């Protein structure tokens, strides 16, 4: 489950649902596992590419709205 949720969020729901039946899988669950494995094999070469847009020189830009839990010493 850790690998599914941290490295492949696209399969996190399916992995979580199939994990419920790990101790007593039925034919439908094995078919779902086979389908998931075919999906993983078909998407093995897909990658995320991060690159800056044409208007910015920075690779990443982040915005946040935090007040550090209202702590005046951290502001």
Per-residue pLDDT of the chain (75 residues; tens, 9 = 90+): 777 777 788 888 899 899 999 899 999 999 999 999 999 999 989 877 766 666 666 667 777 666 666 666 655
**What distance in Å separates the CA atoms of residue 22 and residue 38, rounded to the nearest whole number?**
19
Whole-prediction pTM: 0.60
Got the DSSP string for 20-70?
TTSSS--HHHHHHHHHHHHHHHHTTT--------TT-S-S--------GGG
Tokens describing residue 33: 């596992």
Residue 48: predicted pLDDT: 72
DSSP state of 72: S
Residue 32: predicted pLDDT: 94
Q: Where are the domains of the chain?
A: 2-70
């Amino acid at each position: 489950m850790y690998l599914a949720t941290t490295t492949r969020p696209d399969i996190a729901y399916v992995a979580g649902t199939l994990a419920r039946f790990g101790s007593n899988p039925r034919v439908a669950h094995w078919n779902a596992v086979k389908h998931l494995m075919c999906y993983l094999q078909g998407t093995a070469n897909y990658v995320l590419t991060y690159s800056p847009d044409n208007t910015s020189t920075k690779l990443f830009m982040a915005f946040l709205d935090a007040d550090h839990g209202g702590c005046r010493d951290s502001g």
